[in-house]
Structure 1
Amino acid sequence: MKLSKKLSPAVVEAAKPEADPYRIWDTTVPQLHLRVQPSGIKSWNVQWSRTRSKSLGKWPGVTVEAARTRAKELLVESDQHGAPLAVIEAEKAVQDKPITLEAFIADHYAPWAVAHQKAGQATVDALKAVWGSLYAKLLGEIVALDVERIKSKRLKAGRTPATVNRDLDRVRSVFSRAVEWGFLAVHPLKSVKRAKGADNSRVRYLSTAEEQRLRKALDDREAERRASRERHNAWHAARGTEGHPQWPEDGYTDHLAPLVLLALNTGLRRGELLGLRWENIDFASAILTVPAGIAKSRKGRHVPLNTEAQGVLKRWRRQVPGDGLVFPGPGGGRMGHINTSWEGLAAAAKLEGFRFHDLRHDFASKLVMAGVDLNTVRELLGHSDLKMTLRYAHLAPQKLADAVAKLRGSA
């Protein structure tokens, strides 16, 4: 039999637990009831249909009057919408719920990117650095104009069109996944054009003097880091405390020197270098294998190791135990980026407009200028077709002249 009373603090207080849970219905708001558990816990619920109800909290945290007020509000919403709005919202599919760009990236896009892209975490970090001002906006409220404004601002600030386009591609990917996964009906950035003036044929390589300065800057950096460690340890020794172990004389002080020297001698991309594992290095055959999983083209390739590359890797191997990454980050995981150390090195070497990726261009350019045919260069770089490699063709003028010289004019 339905137990109904005009609920009051005294009535609620007097309700004693029994062997089975029971309800006391309020006569003031008939859809409101107090549920008394055998444990003694008393909680409020409002029922808007024969089979649907919602918890309003526990007594005494929620008072009688507070429970009545909240119950009336939810009953009005039920009359207007068929159920309380909070219930309707909770029952929506995740794709139908309002979500900010930040939450979508953190909860959905980032896990996908890290799992499916070899530079997934770097992509996620770059997204926030460039598009962070849009993170608080709801995904469905971001329009093309929002992105156009940021694109224009970056171009005016001196960012190259290639850089702007690369970051534009990243955010486009976010919205493409949002459409694919049902969070958006249409892609909001379809009308956003790529920045004009991007030159993908850019080839920047080191002159003889620049390469000498780069190598000297590497040596100077190593020497200064060793000297700094010695000063640090001397300070500790004078106070009877323990310092840090000095690096071996035949080793490196950190990853930068071996990373740069290996890039100069193999032409590997930064992501490929950071993804290399010791199992990919065959010292006996002097071959470095770039697995398909870390290659941009998703095709594996083999790169012969010259004398300097072999020496660098053997020297570095003595400092990196185990069979994991060749260039591990903190805790043995993949290194995130080397921007700070590289920028400091480039500044010390006085390299104007020279990026870490240009070490790859330097490798290819020197091969072409040494007379290596373009198809061989293509294979070493891992280009999927010859078009990308043709940017280096102008560096072999003598081969072109030799080809034309084979023609004989008719008398």
Structure 2
Amino acid sequence: MPIKSKITVTNIKNLVPTDKRLNDTEISGFHARITPLGLISYYLFYRLNGKQVNYRLGVDGQMTPAQARDLAKSKIADVTQGVDVQALRKQERTSTKYSKFSTLQYFLDEKYTPWLKSRNPKTAEKTVKAFKSSFPKLMDFQLSDINAWEIEKWRNKRLADGVKPATTNRQINTIKGCLSRAVEWGVIDNHDLRKVKTLTVDNSKVRYLSKDEERRLRESLRVCDTAFLEVIVLLAINTGMRKGELLSLQWHDINFDNKILTVDFQNAKSGNTRHLPLNTEAFNELIQWQKLSGNEGYVFKDRNNQPLKDFPSLWAEILDAANITHFRFHDLRHHFASKLVMASVDLNTVRELLGHSDLKMTLRYAHLAPEHKAAAVNLIC
């Protein structure tokens, strides 16, 4: 609930997300807002020509409560003289002098990418590269001009080109996150991409290997000339690790004494470290691979001791040799989860092994355990 008190350093520090808003008791319209994630911003509410305006003063951390108060007084003086400070800000941001500094390209290069690198340096470049490849025509747009209509047009074109709805959902979420960060940092006042609704996707259908397909895949791997491929595929089958997690895996991440493999938070999609027990096959594959490749640096590395890049051609050849169709490397992760569920492993354990942050993501495998549903309905008999 909104509370009333003088906006001071102490009162700002004591704000919690459930407070939502702190209204200053000395300056009418001056207030602070806190997001569910704890970000605090300062605002000034004013009326001009019958219009209500909420002017963003800045973000806590980039300005102190005292500085926000002084700025609020200054803007009130302008409004008293008939100046619409909100409209003036928009004019300044679209001026020729400012325009090149407020494009999506500039924001990505100068602000967003450095921030991503500070959080997860190993994946930042990949994330931004994918971002730019998804939205090349928006790079020269002013941030304030990227609206719901532009994104809807972009999505319609992507869908017409055959891009899957789930893919466009992920890509739209990336640009939503980027613009939300721009709002939090005071680069733009707001954005309306929340109006762009997520497309419904049926995640209940998962592709996993039949017993015969897995047998054929293993046979193809055994006769493959590329040594690392059998190891990385069998490791994926037995751990459910993502391809990126496997390619960034280092020998120091593996505790052979306790048979535990650690996925470092910097390489995990969820941003959380997880510890995976190694079963007999995974353990033996790593032991043998270590004898061939050494025990320092990356587990899967090139001649320059750098992590291996993607290997789509090799993967396609293996699938072709095994006569397996419509199966991505990522589907090995689904295969791992599906085998666990069909072996009656509870969904929460599957969630922990996969590193899902939400059980909803794991529920896509629930239909593979029909005995659980049967047992549930039998309880009321």
TM-score by structure 2 length?
A: 0.65
C-alpha displacement at 1:404, in angstroms? 5.9
Which whole-Å CA distance do the structure 1 matches of 2:303 and 2:201 have between them? 36
The match for 1:158 among 162, 171, 176 is 162
C-alpha displacement at 1:167, in angstroms? 1.0
For residues 38-63 of structure 1, the C-alpha deviation after alignment (integer angstroms, 9 at most, x for no partner) is: xxxxxxxxxxxxxxxxxxxxxxxxxx
Q: Is the 8 A contact 2:101 2:107 kept in 1?
A: no
For residues 102-155 of structure 1, the C-alpha deviation after alignment (integer angstroms, 9 at most, x for no partner) is: 232223222222332453222112112211122233434333332222211111
What is residue 205 of structure 1 aligned with on the other side? 208
What is residue 281 of structure 2 aligned with on the other side? 308
Q: Is the 8 A contact 1:276 1:290 kept in 2?
A: yes
| Number of equivalent positions | 286
For residues 386-405 of structure 1, the C-alpha deviation after alignment (integer angstroms, 9 at most, x for no partner) is: 43333222222345446666
The match for 1:132 among 136, 139, 158 is 136
Rg bigger for which structure?
A: 1
The match for 2:111 among 108, 113, 131 is 108
TM-score by structure 1 length?
A: 0.61
C-alpha displacement at 1:172, in angstroms? 1.7
Matches within 5 A, 1:2-401: 98-117=101-120, 119-194=123-198, 196-220=199-223, 222-223=224-225, 252=227, 255-321=228-294, 323-328=296-301, 331-335=304-308, 337-401=310-374
Aligned partner of 2:349: which letter?
Answer: T
What SS does the corresponding residue of 1:289 show, helix, strand or coil?
strand
What SS does the corresponding residue of 2:276 show, helix, strand or coil?
strand
What SS does the corresponding residue of 2:194 show, helix, strand or coil?
coil
What SS does the corresponding residue of 1:318 show, helix, strand or coil?
helix
Q: Is the 8 A contact 1:98 1:139 kept in 2?
A: no
Unpaired runs of at least 5, structure 2: 1-91
For residues 255-296 of structure 1, the C-alpha deviation after alignment (integer angstroms, 9 at most, x for no partner) is: 433222111011112233233221221212222122344334
Q: Is the 8 A contact 1:378 1:389 kept in 2?
A: yes
Q: Is the 8 A contact 1:374 1:393 kept in 2?
A: yes
Aligned partner of 2:204: which letter?
Answer: S
- Range 179-188 or range 157-166, more displaced: 179-188
| Structure 1 residues 322 and 311: CA distance shift in structure 2, 3 A | closer
Which whole-Å CA distance do the structure 1 matches of 2:221 and 2:178 have between them? 39
| Structure 1 residues 338 and 103: CA distance shift in structure 2, 3 A | farther
What SS does the corresponding residue of 1:302 show, helix, strand or coil?
strand
Aligned-pair identity (%): 48
C-alpha displacement at 1:158, in angstroms? 2.2
Which whole-Å CA distance do the structure 1 matches of 2:333 and 2:375 have between them? 27
Aligned partner of 1:127: which letter?
Answer: F
Which whole-Å CA distance do the structure 1 matches of 2:140 and 2:230 have between them? 41
Aligned partner of 1:151: which letter?
Answer: R
Q: Is the 8 A contact 2:100 2:106 kept in 1?
A: no
Aligned partner of 2:148: which letter?
Answer: A
| Structure 1 residues 122 and 335: CA distance shift in structure 2, 3 A | farther
Aligned partner of 1:116: which letter?
Answer: R
Aligned partner of 1:301: which letter?
Answer: R
| Structure 1 residues 365 and 176: CA distance shift in structure 2, 3 A | same
C-alpha displacement at 1:319, in angstroms? 3.9
C-alpha displacement at 1:340, in angstroms? 4.6
| Structure 1 residues 121 and 344: CA distance shift in structure 2, 3 A | farther
Q: Is the 8 A contact 2:250 2:299 kept in 1?
A: yes
| Structure 1 residues 329 and 142: CA distance shift in structure 2, 3 A | farther
Q: Is the 8 A contact 2:249 2:298 kept in 1?
A: yes
Aligned partner of 1:109: which letter?
Answer: Y
Which whole-Å CA distance do the structure 1 matches of 2:365 and 2:129 have between them? 32
C-alpha displacement at 1:406, in angstroms? 7.4
C-alpha displacement at 1:322, in angstroms? 5.0
Which whole-Å CA distance do the structure 1 matches of 2:288 and 2:294 have between them? 12
Q: Is the 8 A contact 1:160 1:198 kept in 2?
A: no
